[in-house]
Structure 1
Amino acid sequence: MSSLNITLRGHYTATRFPEQAMVHLTIESTGESEATITHEVTSTCNDLHASLETLRPIQEDGTTSSEVSSISASEMYMTTKNRNAYDSTETIYDSPRIYNAIITFYVVFCDFNELHKFIQKVDGYPNARLNNLIWYLTDATKGEIGAESRKKAVLDAVTKADQYAKAVGFEDVIPVDIREIDESLNPAALPQKPTFRHPSGVSLTPQDIVLNCCVQVVFGASCDLASGARTD
């Protein structure tokens, strides 16, 4: 009886169109009147929030519609400084103080048409700017893809092990150890969609979500030399 160990990796890559997108905005105003800039930032924040609430009306069963899944805004962050605090001799000027107020705003969209309409609305406010747009899948979908990916990565390893074993006259490979490996894909190697960019530089084109699974599997195989199963 002769034995053989085979160690190799199995791979599976899943690509899915994104289901949700998180919009990151900054609402900011600067000026000499604290009351004025506070009002400007609060007013813009309230207007945007109100427009989003119309996209998720409460249904009869108490649930909301699916165009927008969440809306959140930070507390207002306020800073202040003198316009010209010091000259070269470190003499303090009696200059007006400059105030700066910022609110960060996050929205998760499930409807990408409404997403683009909202960004157009944001562009109409001089004190609001688009910072980032992140595409992703729901946790439920990622869980389903993860289960499928792990299964197919192992099957990929089994198929290759079986081919290696048969090439040298062995059969019936048996997995004896399976380890999941964090093997990142090279983004440059993935097909890229043409992008349409916002004036801020943020891409407005939904990008596919790529999930990769890699496993390292150790197989054992045996061959009864007396049976003549092994080939030269």
Structure 2
Amino acid sequence: MSDVVITVRGEHEARIAPEQATVHLTLRAEGPERGAVVERISALSEPVRDDLISRKSAGNVAEWTSRRVSIWSERPWNNEGKRLAPVHYATVEFSATFTDFAALSWWVGDVAEREEVQLSHIDWRLTPETRAATERDVASAAVGVAVARATAYAEAIGLASVIPLEIADLGLLTRADAPESAPAAPMRLAKAFASDAVGSAGGGVQLQPEEIVVSAAVEARFAAR
């Protein structure tokens, strides 16, 4: 009796609490005089920069960045269709990656109360080491699911064992009866979001990120005997 070929899919996922949070904010100043606007944006940036330097030294912040100041001018129109005097604008963007979420909550609450500060969003993530280790574990577990599923199929038809012929990420398994499909993403890392708005005011913002979901799926082909 010739071998029976069994083709299956295996999936697995893991849910892990975020280890880092990167907050993004923009400082903005505007006014009729370019020089005054530049001075204002500099005055706004300095305490934020000093605070982040201090927090990095203390170990609450893993890293932070600040982009150069962007300056531009616009001439608005009034209700009568006439151009008014130029208005000058300046912005500078900051991002900071916190490892201490309690410190992050207090920092967000403090910064949100400052003038001309806009909090954009928070990215919750795992450290590179944890993400890589989790992806390996999840991929291995997905293969185990495929093996168990193929074994169950083989036993259902009275065969005793399965021998792997091909194992691949979704969309990469060769098919004898159809053209090869476009590769699909084998590993997914779902983002986690805070349950409260980052722009909330107060002495401390309660940030409650959801767990990060790492998932993997594989296709496998076995010979059953």
Q: Smaller-chain TM-score range?
A: 0.7 to 0.9
Tell me if 1:167 matches 2:156.
Answer: yes
Q: Distance in 1 between matches of 2:193 and 2:61?
A: 25
Q: Distance in 2 between matches of 1:128 and 1:70?
A: 20
Q: Distance in 1 between matches of 2:195 and 2:108?
A: 16
Q: Distance in 2 between matches of 1:81 and 1:193?
A: 36
- Which residue is equivalent to 1:77? 70
Q: Distance in 2 between matches of 1:129 and 1:48?
A: 13
> Could you tell me how far 1:218 is from its partner in structure 2?
0.3
- Which residue is equivalent to 2:222? 219
Cα displacement string for residues 87-145 of structure 1 (whole angstroms, at most 9, x for unaligned residues): 65xxx65x421001011111111111111111112122111110011100111111100
Deviating runs (4+, > 6 A) in structure 1? none
Q: Distance in 2 between matches of 1:152 and 1:197?
A: 36
Structure number with bigger Rg: 1
Letter in 1 for 2:137: E
Q: Which moved more, 1:29-38 or 1:175-184?
A: 175-184
Q: Distance in 2 between matches of 1:136 and 1:66?
A: 18
Q: Distance in 1 between matches of 2:63 and 2:6?
A: 49
Letter in 1 for 2:53: E
> Could you tell me how far 1:184 is from its partner in structure 2?
7.8
Cα displacement string for residues 8-62 of structure 1 (whole angstroms, at most 9, x for unaligned residues): 10111011000001111010011112122212211221101111222222xxxxx
Gaps of 5+ in 1: 58-64, 223-232
Letter in 2 for 1:156: V
Letter in 2 for 1:206: P
> Could you tell me how far 1:83 is from its partner in structure 2?
3.4
Letter in 2 for 1:216: E
- Which residue is equivalent to 1:98? 87
Q: Distance in 1 between matches of 2:5 and 2:40?
A: 70
Q: TM-score w.r.t. structure 1 length? A: 0.80
Q: Is the 8 Å Cα contact of residues 187 and 214 (structure 2) preserved in structure 1?
A: no
Q: Is the 8 Å Cα contact of residues 187 and 217 (structure 2) preserved in structure 1?
A: no
The 3 A distance-change label for structure 1 pair 131 and 75 is same
Q: Is the 8 Å Cα contact of residues 26 and 130 (structure 1) preserved in structure 2?
A: yes
Q: How does 1:15-54 map to 2 (within 5 A)?
A: 15-54=15-54
Q: Distance in 1 between matches of 2:15 and 2:148?
A: 22
The 3 A distance-change label for structure 1 pair 53 and 196 is same
Q: Is the 8 Å Cα contact of residues 76 and 101 (structure 1) preserved in structure 2?
A: yes
Q: Distance in 2 between matches of 1:171 and 1:10?
A: 20
Q: TM-score w.r.t. structure 2 length? A: 0.83
Q: Distance in 2 between matches of 1:168 and 1:194?
A: 50
Gaps of 5+ in 2: 171-184
> Could you tell me how far 1:205 is from its partner in structure 2?
2.2
**Pairs aligned (count):** 205
Q: How does 1:182-201 map to 2 (within 5 A)?
A: 182=185, 195-199=195-199
Q: Distance in 1 between matches of 2:14 and 2:152?
A: 24
Q: Distance in 2 between matches of 1:79 and 1:193?
A: 33
Q: Is the 8 Å Cα contact of residues 180 and 215 (structure 1) preserved in structure 2?
A: yes
Tell me if 1:5 matches 2:5.
Answer: yes
Question: Which of 135, 138, 141 is equivalent to 1:146?
Answer: 135
Tell me if 1:204 matches 2:207.
Answer: yes
- Which residue is equivalent to 1:124? 113
